[in-house]
Amino acid sequence: MCSEHHAQVLVASNRGPLSYALREDGTLDARRGGGGLVSGLSAIGPDVNALWVCSALGDGDREAVRRGVGERGVRMLAIDAETHADAYNGVANSVLWFVHHLLYQTPLEPSFGTEFRRQWAAYEAYNEAFAEALAAEAAPGAAVLVQDYHLALVPGMLRSLRADLRIGHFSHTPWAPLDYFRMLPDDIAERLLRGMLGADRLGFLTRRWADAFVGCAEGVLGAGALGGTRIGVHGLGADADFLRERARRGDVEERLADLREQIGGAGGAGGSAGRKAIVRVDRTELSKNIVRGLHAYRLLLDEHPEWRERVTHVAFAYPSRQDLAVYRSYTAEVSRVAAEINAAYGTADWTPVILHVKDDFARSLAAYRLADVALVNPIRDGMNLVAKEVPVVSDEGCALVLSREAGAYEELGDDALVVNPYDVTATAAALHTALTMPVDERAERTKRLAVAATSLPPGRWFLEQLEALRR
């Protein structure tokens, strides 16, 4: 095993900082990831003995564990594939995610029967495997930061194993209001809350989500349910230095030229020099509201025909959770609606919707740079970093159309055009307002948005939680 025992700082998450793929010749290809946790752990410095405990997510990861391949500072758990699937897809992504994002079609779902109970047992086993690994690896009094809804039971389980540890849990999603949370079976709702309340400190992205958790805890468990557990709010920001440097590399410049050519218009430049560009960058996650965004764009073209051939919707909808049927159906609907708009309005030299479904970070950054308008209209989102990244990277300023249900609304709402994500008519009107916004106003708003978006960069976000937990 690559990790060293008696770690002083431990992070636990479903997905780790690296993954492995099996090559055809049987060798393993290690691929490193990014994100706030990676930046945060690097910020604590090499002198602190830190360990990241994560799950093996695929055949390559499991083979790496079997062979004893890995990296110092990472312990990957080879949890049984069926157990992981039931815990991850059956409970975490098909139940907890749906509850916190208010996604159920309640006349038909949820329905908690014997199959759910079987999957819940796997979720408990999955959380127990993490708790046992953390207990075995942690030094006396170590700080343990557990991440997200996948591992909601870990704090309580770990507390029973190692009372000496300082345990934190951070929720990267919204938290459901009490009435919605109570759709869960009573014993499961109580189990989840007590599991999280095993932590010394619980972190949330916004005050709204923190207050919702407190409301659930007191509503389900009674007054005084928090006990000694403290609540903190840490609004993860964009990494300005990384984004600005990365957005100027050669591969981004190449994709910027390609996008401008696809957008076309006067001079074929795209952005303010040619046709205007309304940009969105999302996973095809049900909560991202991509389909209503497309309907709003179509309504814009209907109600303001002057925008036909003068604006293009650049929509990046990268596949997510395609092993779940409902996500495959949603992805297909995104493609269908985009094709319908193009068939109805497109001309020989204008494609109204440019849809890309293959994940490409460099292309996303290129789209950020040329966007005249960024559309971020989730039904519900813990934060939404796209809303924070676009103003940081934008070349000439970008008007932000932002859902009031995104966590980022708390910080960015004053300088965004705020919409109700269910109101297609109002979203279309906001797009028109954004497209007609004076250049000077757009530039000033973008500056203020960028300042707010970068107020708590990933390294500081992580260290702030660690310091608060240690206090």
pLDDT tens per residue, range 104-143: 999 999 999 999 999 999 999 999 999 999 999 999 999 9
Domain boundaries, the chain: 7-236+460-470, 240-453
pLDDT band at 344 (very low <50, low <70, confident <90, very high): very high
Whether this prediction's pTM lies above 0.75 is answered by yes
Instruction: Output the six-digit token pair for 240.
Output: 């300005």
Give the residue among 339, 343, 248, 345 at the shortest CA–CA distance from 306: 345
Is 471's pLDDT higher than 90?
no
Q: Residue range 437-442: average pLDDT?
A: 96
Which residue, chain included where needed, has tokens 């218009």?
265
- Give yes or no for a contact between 226 and 216, defined as CB atoms under 8 angstroms apart: no
What tens digit of pLDDT does each residue of 289-327 get?
Answer: 999 999 999 999 999 999 999 999 999 998 777 777 888
Q: Can you say how many angstroms the Cα of residue 2 is from the centroid of all Cα atoms in its chain?
A: 29
> 186: which 2 tokens?
């009573």
- The b/e string for 357-392 (b: 16+ C-beta within 10 A; e otherwise) is eeeeebbbbbbbbbbbbbbbbbbbbbbbbbbbbbbb
Model confidence at 268: pLDDT above 70: no
| pLDDT at residue 64 greater than cutoff 50 | yes
Predicted pLDDT of residue 48: 75
Helix (H) or strand (E) holding 28: strand 28-32
Per-residue pLDDT band for 92 (boundaries 50, 70, 90) equals: very high
User: Which pLDDT does position 323 carry in this prediction?
Assistant: 72
Name the strand (E) or helix (H) holding 370.
helix 361-370
Q: Which of 250, 268, 251, 187 is nearest to 221 (CA)?
A: 187
* Predicted local confidence at residue 2, as pLDDT: 40
Residues 6+ apart with CB under 8 A from 204: 170, 171, 175, 210, 213, 231, 232, 233, 234
CA of residue 140 relative to chain centroid, distance = 33
153 and 130 in contact (C-beta within 8 Å)? Answer: no
Give the C-alpha separation, 197 to 262, whole Å: 52
Q: Where are the alpha helices (DSSP H) in 197-315?
A: 207-221, 240-246, 250-263, 290-303
**11 phi/psi in degrees, rounded to 5:** -115, 135
Q: Which of 141-145, 180-184, 202-206, 315-319 has the lowest mean pLDDT?
A: 315-319
Q: Nearest Cα to 44, choosing from 453, 461, 454, 456?
A: 461
pLDDT at residue 22, as a whole number: 87
Contact in structure between 87 and 122 (CB atoms under 8 Å): yes
Which pLDDT does position 358 carry in this prediction? 85
Looking at domain 240-453, its CATH superfamily turns out to be Glycogen Phosphorylase B; (3.40.50.2000)
Q: Where are the beta strands (DSSP E) in 129-178?
A: 138-147, 166-171
**DSSP calls for 94-124:** IIIHHHHTT---TTT-----HHHHHHHHHHH
* Nearest Cα to Cα of residue 449 among 405, 395, 387: 387
At 276 the three-state DSSP class reads strand
Q: Report which DSSP code applies to 414.
A: G
Q: The domain 7-236+460-470 belongs to what CATH superfamily?
A: Glycogen Phosphorylase B; (3.40.50.2000)
C-alpha–C-alpha distance, residues 396 and 458, integer Å: 25
Q: What is the rounded CA–CA span in Å between residue 61 and residue 20? A: 5
Average pLDDT, the chain: 93
Poorest-pLDDT segment among 56-70, 138-152, 319-333: 319-333
Find the range with the poorest average confidence among 1-15, 121-135, 202-216. 1-15
To which H or E segment does residue 313 belong? strand 311-318
Q: What is the pLDDT of residues 212-242, one digit of tens each?
A: 999 999 999 999 999 999 999 999 999 999 9
Per-residue confidence (pLDDT) for residue 30, from 0 to 100? 87
Same CATH topology for 7-236+460-470 and 240-453: the answer is: yes
Give the integer Cα–Cα distance in Å for 471 and 469: 5
List the alpha helices (DSSP H) in 406-457. Answer: 409-412, 424-435, 439-453
Give the separation between CA 165 and CA 134, rounded to whole angstroms: 10
